[in-house]
Amino acid sequence: MPKLKRPADEAEVGEDSAEFIESLSRGLRVIEAFGAERRPMTLSDIAKACDLPRATARRVLLTLRKSGYVTSDERLFALTPRVLGLASAYLASNQISAVLQPLMDEVSATAKEVCSLAILDGDDAVFVARASPARVFSAGIDLGYRLPLFCTSVGRVLLGRLDNDELTATIEAMNLAAQTPETIVDKPTVVATIIADRTRGYSLVDREAEPGFRSIAVPIRRYDGAIVAAANIGAHVDRITTGEMIDRFLPPLQRMAKEAQPLIV
């Protein structure tokens, strides 16, 4: 079972700092642990995943249960729907999602595919908005879903915000674990690919993040040109070629990015 790493700034502030609230940090780590495991968890599960003493994990869980964020049958603990309020607060206050959503709806309708929006968070791209075409069923990535930066179209676009030296240092510090047989894990090659993507203004990843799946992404820039997000469209390889993705999906994505830039401050 993977342990949840403490945020980097937690170590920087230090437990003896008056600015740092250790109990709040522990509570948030416990909530995150449920998302990482995707199942109800025992007290021992939580303590191990969060690297906490059992007694501490128990106090955190009881506090979250009292506050309505956790439910329990005295053996297994699970999150309640109230946790969705935390995500709703973020989405409601996030300017990028608010600006992009209607534009993404137009792109999705034009392309007849799911259009998703991701932002940078650590070594991952996190999806914060999604638009689907008007049809009975459409598969796509859920909000809050995380993907590695180095092998995804949105991730490579987001890494393109770094200059060459920063990019090289960032990739060198990453553990590049192959997601599929097609995943590029050679670090100099990954760096060179991201630089090339930055130059041409988009990234197209073919079966590196998921078998049989390819996607194309463009940077979303704010008014001053800084990259703040990435928007993509993906499809299974049996439905579309890479050339068709460039011809069909790239133009509407680029138009959306151009329309959004002066609106994002």
Query: Tens digit of pLDDT for each residue in 106-135?
Result: 999 999 999 999 999 888 999 989 999 865
Could you give the C-alpha distances from 223 to 74, 104, 264, in angstroms and in order?
Answer: 52, 18, 6
Chain segment 208-265, per-residue pLDDT in tens: 999 999 999 999 999 999 999 999 999 999 999 999 999 999 999 999 999 999 999 8
What whole-number distance in Å separates Cα of residue 35 and Cα of residue 194?
29
> Helices marked H in 115-237 — which ranges?
153-159, 164-173, 187-200
The reported pLDDT for the residue numbered 74 is 81
Min mean pLDDT across 16-25, 60-69, 84-93, 236-245 is at: 84-93
Q: Which two tokens stand for residue 172?
A: 């060198």
pLDDT tens digit string along 38-83? 788 899 999 998 999 999 999 999 999 989 989 998 889 998 888 8
Checking if the pLDDT of 137 tops 90, the result is no
Amino acid identity at 222: R
pLDDT at 11 over 60: no
Which ranges of 83-163 does DSSP label H, i.e. alpha helix? Answer: 84-93, 95-111, 153-159
Q: In this predicted structure, what is the pLDDT of residue 20?
A: 79
Residue 91 has pLDDT above 70, yes or no: no
Cα 79 to the center of its chain, rounded Å: 20
Instruction: Name the pTM for this structure.
Output: 0.72
| pLDDT tier, 14 (very low <50, low <70, confident <90, very high otherwise) | low
Rg of the chain over Cα atoms, rounded to whole angstroms, equals 20
Domains, the chain, with CATH or none: 8-85 (1.10.10.10), 94-263 (3.30.450.40)
Residue 96 pLDDT: 85
CA distance linking residue 57 with residue 55, whole number of Å: 6
Q: Residue 176: is its pLDDT beyond 90?
A: yes
Q: For residues 118 and 146, give the distance between their C-alpha atoms in angstroms, rounded to a whole number.
A: 9
